[in-house]
Amino acid sequence: MELKATALGKHLAQHPYDRVKLLTAGVEVSGDRHQYLIPFNQLIDIHCKRGLVWGELEFELPDHKVVRLHGTEWGDTQRFYQHVLTSWQRWSQEMAEITAGVLNQQADLITRIDQGDKWLKRQDISGLQTQIREALSALPLPHTRIEQFDICQPAWSLCLAWLHHGESQRQLVNQRYAQKMLHDCQDFFQSVESSPLNPSQAQAVVNGEAATLVLAGAGSGKTSVLVARAGWLLARGEAQPDQILMLAFGRKAADEMDERIRQRLNTDDISSRTFHALALYILQQSGRKAPQISQLESDPGARQALLIETWRRQCSEKKAQAKGWRQWITEELGWTIAEQDYWLDDKLSQRLASRLDRWLGLLRMHGGSQANMVAQCPEALREQFQKRLKLMAPLLKAWKTALKQEDAVDFSGLIHQAVNVLDKGRFVSPWKHILIDEFQDISPQRASLIAALRRQNTHTTLFAVGDDWQSVYRFSGADLDLTTRFNQVFGEGDCCALDTTYRFNSRIGEVANQLIQQNPNQLKKPLNSLTKGDKKAVTLLPDDQLEPLLDKMSGYVTGDERILVLARYHYLRPAILARAGTRWPTLHIDFMTMHASKGQQADHVIVLGLKAGSDGFPASGRESIIEQAMLPQPEDFPDAEERRLLYVAITRARQRSWLLFDKNAPGPFVDALKHLGVTVARKP
């Protein structure tokens, strides 16, 4: 069937199209020099309009495009319109049934996922959305028309919801799954640890993402979550014991985790490893000769003696090197040294030994060539760093020679070799689940080992428990960015928080939480306390009141309560504590540095040294060129890591924290605490 414009209509309209023909499943609009084929699967609507004299047909296409035919006789236009409309509607109804079938298949798949007894991962959503898009791209009806057909509407709406709002749909599914697991497996969560897991702990345990970061604030039960996670994987049949890898940062922490697992899960088949023990195991299993760990790694005295001997020989044999070291020591460290043969000064050597040891460790941790180190150094430091690196080169060489003579490796070399073995496929990872404690302390080198394991097995999940608020080990290479940018580094996943502390009261929590969150770079999280604390639970006290404070505490602190005295450095240990056993025999007093106190807790905490100056707290963050070049870049917030260290110190206390400050030269944290409403007392 065909409709043509009249001769006069064609002449007056001056339009490129003057006739239209009905095809089997479409229409063809044409003119003397133009032709336009419109299949029904591209047709959105048809409109028939009457002008002053002639008729007009309008074919609406996607993206608001319209094809018009003018100048046709009105009666013929109406008859053609009815015929085309009937044909198009018949075709549309047939296609709607086909479309409904395709959509219903997708809806059934979505419903099975929605009602399934399984955690829905972000990568699962991505795969589902790809499948939906592929199905929709093959539909015979234009997408804008699908809602017109009742048989298509429910499935179409469901597909669009998951296509355009997949993340919110995923969260709803996982919320239902988590609530179901917490209800159905109530006995497990009640008994897996000595105390029942709270909802935030249990929800972290059942999280099934490929990469999960659990933010565990001070005293929030991170170890319970790690043990319960391992138990959950076993109970659900998601892993065998030998498919679970648990990692800690020190041998003592690993041993404590093993003991906890034995007690709570009744198994010896899951063992915790340090990163170095893991690297050693990988090398042992790779078929290569099992490496020996250098004796120098466990003997800091011998290690530093080697470095000082090499340094002295270097200075005595090469005047240019001696001059370079003199400049380094005087200008960068600010030390005063002798005019002649300064390297023979035993006190200077003893003082410098730990610095050399630390600088060498940073260079070894990097593991790359010296040229690579220079290339990766910030440009502003590059020239100076190159000079320092040239001075360190003989020490690096002496270290490598000593290792070769021992036929041994150091800890940094262990990890570098293990990553190399993994990337060359000489060891295939058996672990489906990696669980890491104290994740905020991870360094780029250790992170590279985790990444290499996950490249071996792309289905390996990473479950990391840590607290960016307690990240205080940048000086040893820890990179806070690996925690705060967790999912950008380790892949799509979730971040959840343990919201209850079982250690300190609400007043300690209020002060500590506000103090740490003044730094906008810290991740936000709730941390609620189970017990109330009065206004005096955190108190500022002049530092000349330490003895009166301990005198007063001896009258009310019970014998089974612990007092923890904390300072920034070991040498700031108050002399009076040497006589504490006889002066206050009923008090249980321990002294340690703030760094060493991490993981500790006490009923009462006394924090010393909130003052300005070289021995003050916050410490003046003067770093050598080597440290500036090799350590992760510091944050752009003043005293950020020192603030976290104060947070660690305050939150060691169950009942009360005393913060001792210098009245004549108070440090900047004193004002910060006063602004938070912390009580200032003249005497205890």
Q: Which of 501, 536, 555 is the last residue of a domain?
A: 501
Q: Which of 155, 184, 213 is the last residue of a domain?
A: 184
> Whole-model pTM?
0.88
List, for residues 311-361, the tens digit of each pLDDT value: 999 999 999 999 999 999 999 988 999 989 999 999 999 999 999 999 999
Cis peptide bond N-terminal to 444, omega within 30: no
In a domain, 149, yes or no: yes
List, for residues 395-433, the tens digit of each pLDDT value: 999 999 999 999 999 999 999 999 999 999 999 999 999
8 A C-beta contact, residue 229 and residue 197: no
Q: Count of CB atoms within 10 A of residue 672's CB?
A: 16
Number of domain units in the chain: 4
- Residue 322 carries which side chain, given as an amino acid letter? A
Q: Is residue 51 predicted with pLDDT exceeding 80? A: no
Q: What span, in angstroms and rounded, lies between the C-alpha atoms of 209 and 568?
A: 39
Phi, psi angles (nearest 5°) of residue 315: -70, -35
Q: What span, in angstroms and rounded, lies between the C-alpha atoms of 101 and 95?
A: 10
172 and 244 in a single domain? The answer is no
8 A C-beta contact, residue 48 and residue 55: yes
Q: What span, in angstroms and rounded, lies between the C-alpha atoms of 508 and 673?
A: 12
Question: Per-residue pLDDT averaged across 438-452, rounded?
Answer: 96
pLDDT reported for residue 206: 97
Give the start-end residues of each E strand in 336-418.
408-409
8 A C-beta contact, residue 508 and residue 651: yes
- Among residues 316, 352, 311, the alpha carbon closest in space to that of 333 is found at 352
In a domain, 418, yes or no: no
DSSP strand pairing (2-4 vs 19-23): antiparallel
Residues recorded for the chain: 684
List, for residues 463-473, the tens digit of each pLDDT value: 999 999 999 99
Q: Which of 381, 409, 437 is the last residue of a domain?
A: 409
Q: Is residue 45 predicted with pLDDT exceeding 80? A: yes
Among 26-35, 219-228, 273-282, 668-677, the minimum mean pLDDT is found in 26-35
Q: How far is CA 383 from CA 209, 428, 673, in A?
A: 45, 42, 41
562 and 655 in a single domain? The answer is yes
- Among residues 618, 622, 620, the alpha carbon closest in space to that of 667 is found at 618
In a domain, 419, yes or no: no
For the chain, the straight-line distance linking the first and the last C-alpha, in angstroms and rounded, comes to: 103
pLDDT reported for residue 71: 84
Kindly indicate the confidence band of residue 123, based on its pLDDT and cuts at 50, 70 and 90.
confident
285 and 309 in a single domain? The answer is no
pLDDT reported for residue 567: 97
Kindly indicate the confidence band of residue 498, based on its pLDDT and cuts at 50, 70 and 90.
very high
Q: Is residue 163 predicted with pLDDT exceeding 80? A: yes
In a domain, 420, yes or no: no
Q: How far is CA 611 from CA 240, 266, 542, 614, 620, in A?
A: 53, 50, 10, 9, 11
In a domain, 416, yes or no: no
Q: Which domain holds residue 175?
A: 1-184
* Structure-token match 């250690």, residue found: 503
Q: How far is CA 367 from CA 237, 555, 566, in A?
A: 40, 56, 35
Distance of CA 327 to the CA centre of its chain: 41
- CATH number at 86 reads 2.30.29.30
Q: What span, in angstroms and rounded, lies between the C-alpha atoms of 357 and 353?
A: 6
Q: Mutual orientation of helices 251-265 and 222-235 as an angle, nearest 10°?
A: 50
90 and 133 in a single domain? The answer is yes
Structure tokens at 567: 């300072």
367 and 495 in a single domain? The answer is no
Question: Per-residue pLDDT averaged across 10-26, rounded?
Answer: 83
In a domain, 525, yes or no: yes
Distance of CA 644 to the CA centre of its chain: 17
208 and 177 in a single domain? The answer is no
431 and 537 in a single domain? The answer is no
In a domain, 162, yes or no: yes
- CATH number at 470 reads 3.40.50.300
pLDDT reported for residue 209: 95
Structure tokens at 14: 């001056």
205 and 259 in a single domain? The answer is yes
Kindly indicate the confidence band of residue 587, based on its pLDDT and cuts at 50, 70 and 90.
very high
Q: Is residue 13 predicted with pLDDT exceeding 70? A: no
- Residue 306 carries which side chain, given as an amino acid letter? L
pLDDT reported for residue 104: 97
142 and 206 in a single domain? The answer is no
In a domain, 422, yes or no: no
3 and 61 in a single domain? The answer is yes
Kindly indicate the confidence band of residue 573, based on its pLDDT and cuts at 50, 70 and 90.
very high
Q: What span, in angstroms and rounded, lies between the C-alpha atoms of 380 and 644?
A: 28
230 and 364 in a single domain? The answer is no
Structure tokens at 324: 């370079």
Distance of CA 346 to the CA centre of its chain: 45
111 and 90 in a single domain? The answer is yes
Structure tokens at 109: 């798949």
pLDDT reported for residue 14: 72
